[in-house]
A and B are shown apart, each in its own frame.
Chain A
Amino acid sequence: MLSGGFDNRVYVWSGLATRVAFGARTDLVNFTGQPAFQQPHVACHAVDWDGDGDVDLLVGARHGEVFLLRNNGTRKKAKFARPERLEAGGAPLKTPHGDAGPHAADWDGDGDVDLLVGDDRGSVILFKNVGTRKVPRLAQGVVLLPGKGGRFVEKRCRTNEMCAMRAKPWVVDWNGDGAMDLLVGDFHDHRVPQKMGNEHMHGWVWLYLRKPAKSRKPKPAKPPKQRNG
């Protein structure tokens, strides 16, 4: 079990033979002092990014960048390379509002791994893999869910910018219909100076079920009018 931390580290709790049991926490990666990680915090996702059979690490940073740490070891004994900043559309990848929450999955069902990234304003951006399974190449991002994405839950959230922030996406076929759906965790800050406890902050998990894709075949076009003569 892995988790990014507020202190720019990625922690790991090794699984034990007994299910739902983990060993003590240890540091997996420490980004403290690295130029791209001057601000807290990081979010991570472990995935086989390059299709070589082991598990690599994607790390989202506070300013919106996403880094890849390739596993140059094995599945059983990871050895991570230096962070490589991911590019999309030929330019360094960066979410518009920072706080990148990366998640890699085959979103479009073409057999390779795409990248989804949540950001600080609550949007989820899709970076399609237009390369291959083993050599991913990300296209320019498109907004899959706009900021807040319809996740208002109460009147206060309609005017409060501190609602539905810091989206953390997870791709899963939730209802078993064969289409990949989206889970999105977020953050709502309802605190005021007199009320600062955890009970005044909320983190809901939203389900976005994917609607069936419309037919990709355009309707047959009408032939141009015949001209006489």
Chain B
Amino acid sequence: MRWLGAHLALLVTAALAQDKADRTEFAAPVRILSAGKPIDAAGGHAAPCVADLDGDGVRDLLVGQFLWEGPTRWGARIRYFRNRGTDKAPRFLGFTNLKGGDVEARAPTG
């Protein structure tokens, strides 16, 4: 019985070690910078998206954001940060607000 118990203990230990190994670990979080300052979607509700928007082979960054425009009026717009660096070392130097047609691309309030 002690032999069986010892082997069961070994199996449980192996299973626990495997579970710990599956947990994802991250480095301490840092804020993405643009022109040396943290990207800050004034209005909050930042929603990032990575895509090569200008077709230059390098991934750019889009950030959706909330806009408060008065006590009963809210909306959202989308900032485009063109990547001036590379995919491995992105570098952003400012943004433009994306347009839809001739107007700023906005998601309106209800």
Show the binding face of A for B, using Cβ within 8 Å: 1, 3-9, 11, 13, 19-25, 32, 40, 43, 101, 126, 144-145, 149-151, 153, 166, 168, 170, 172, 174-176, 181-189, 196-199, 201-211, 213-216, 218-219, 221, 224, 227
CB-based contact B66/A207 at 8 Å: no
A-B contact count (CB 8 A): 189
Is the pair A201, B90 in contact by a Cβ cutoff of 8 Å?
A: no
Q: Which residue of A lies closest to B107 (CB)?
A: A5
Measured in the bound complex, the distance between the Cα atoms of B101 and A127 in whole Å is: 38
| A5 to B, closest residue via Cβ | B107
Interface of B is mostly: mixed
Which residues of B from 10 to 42 have beta carbons under 8 Å from A? 10, 13-14, 17-18, 20-22, 24-32, 38-42
Which residues from chain B contact A216 at a C-beta distance below 8 Å?
18, 21-22
Contact B44 A187 (CB under 8 A): yes
Number of B interface residues at 8 Å Cβ cutoff, please give it: 66
Write the residues of chain B forming the contact surface with A, with a CB cutoff of 8 angstroms: 2-3, 6-7, 10, 13-14, 17-18, 20-22, 24-32, 38-50, 53-55, 59, 61-68, 74-76, 78, 80, 87-90, 98-101, 103, 105-110
CB-based contact B21/A166 at 8 Å:
no
**How far, in angstroms, from A112 to B10 measured CA to CA in the complex?**
33
Which of the residues B45, B59, B105 comes within 8 Å of A25, measured between beta carbons? B105
* Contact with A207, one of B6, B32, B53, B65 (Cβ below 8 angstroms): B32
**Contact in complex: B14, A218 (CB < 8 Å):** yes
